């Protein structure tokens, strides 16, 4: 009689324990799922939607599967009418699917309308800059002592190359400037008439 009561008691306790364990598993999995969902929505809220037609390079680089080179290609390929057009910037279908929930395509019509004047303005600004900084014939620039602004006045020399020239000093001859990355024979031929070393 006592054995039967213990068996019944342990049987009920075992069933109760089993039910409690199953309940705990469901509660924990629901909690974990909720945490993941909250984390995903928080990340979306923090990142916001990135507009393909207006985002900066850094904003594009924050997207999954998009590095610096791809971000530049995306910018060069503007304007976009849909996310699927990212394939022309080199993104695979899988990468496009990853970024779709994080992007928007806005201002495509305005970008198309404004793209031609913007290009014309850029070309005008570039020609104005080259005209303003054109060196007079016979001008000589000492590459061992000239400041950055003076070096930038040389044809085909921008701020980066000017700084590289300064960092590479001293030079024994004007030909030594070709040791600078990006200054090849063509660039040297364009600037050599202005260069001196002392």
One domain, residues 127 and 75: yes
The predicted pLDDT at position 28 comes to 67
Residue 104 host element (H or E): strand 103-104
Please report whether residue 136 resides in a domain: no
Rounded Cα gap, residues 109 and 102, in angstroms: 21
Query: 138 in the Ramachandran plot: left (φ > 0), alpha (ψ -120 to 50) or beta?
Result: left
How many domains is the chain built from? 3
Examine the pLDDT at 108 and tell me if it is beyond 80: no
How many angstroms separate the CA atoms of 42 and 29, rounded?
20
Per the rule left: phi > 0, alpha: psi between -120 and 50, beta: everything else, 182 is left
Six token digits for residue 87: 């394939």
Q: What confidence score (pLDDT) does residue 135 get?
A: 75
Note whether 75 and 116 are same-domain residues.
Answer: yes
Q: Are residue 79 and residue 119 in the same domain, yes or no?
A: yes
pLDDT of residue 53: 87
Residue span of the structural domain in which 155 resides: 141-196
pLDDT band, very low/low/confident/very high, at 198 (cuts 50, 70, 90): confident
Asked whether residue 23 is domain-assigned, the answer is yes
Residue 90's CATH number: 1.10.150.320
Q: How far is CA 61 from the centre of its chain?
A: 3
d(C-alpha 75, C-alpha 52), whole Å: 8
pLDDT above 90 for 116: no
pLDDT digits (tens, 9 = 90+) for 44-101: 444 468 888 888 988 889 888 888 888 898 898 888 888 888 988 888 889 888 888 8
Is the pLDDT reported for residue 170 higher than 70?
yes
Q: Does the structure show a pLDDT above 90 at 188? A: yes
Q: Is 107 left (phi over 0), alpha (psi -120 to 50) or beta?
A: left
pLDDT band of 143, cuts 50, 70, 90 = very high
């Amino acid at each position: 009689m006592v054995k039967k009561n213990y068996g019944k008691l342990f049987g009920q306790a075992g069933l109760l324990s089993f039910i409690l364990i199953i309940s705990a598993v469901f509660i924990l999995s629901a909690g974990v799922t909720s945490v993941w969902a909250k984390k995903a929505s928080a990340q979306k809220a923090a990142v916001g939607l990135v507009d393909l037609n207006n985002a900066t390079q850094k904003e594009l680089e924050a997207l999954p599967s998009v590095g610096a080179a791809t971000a530049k290609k995306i910018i060069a390929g503007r304007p976009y009418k849909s996310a699927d057009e990212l394939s022309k910037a080199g993104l695979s279908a899988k990468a496009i699917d990853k970024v779709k929930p994080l992007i928007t395509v806005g201002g495509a019509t305005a970008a198309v309308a404004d793209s031609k004047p913007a290009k014309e303005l850029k070309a005008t600004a570039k020609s104005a800059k080259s005209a303003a900084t054109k060196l007079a014939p016979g001008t000589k620039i000492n590459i061992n002592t000239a400041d950055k602004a003076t070096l930038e006045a040389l044809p085909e020399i921008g701020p980066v190359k000017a700084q590289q020239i300064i960092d590479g000093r001293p030079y024994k001859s004007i030909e030594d400037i070709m040791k600078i990355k990006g200054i090849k024979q063509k660039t040297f031929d364009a600037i050599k008439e202005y260069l001196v070393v002392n």
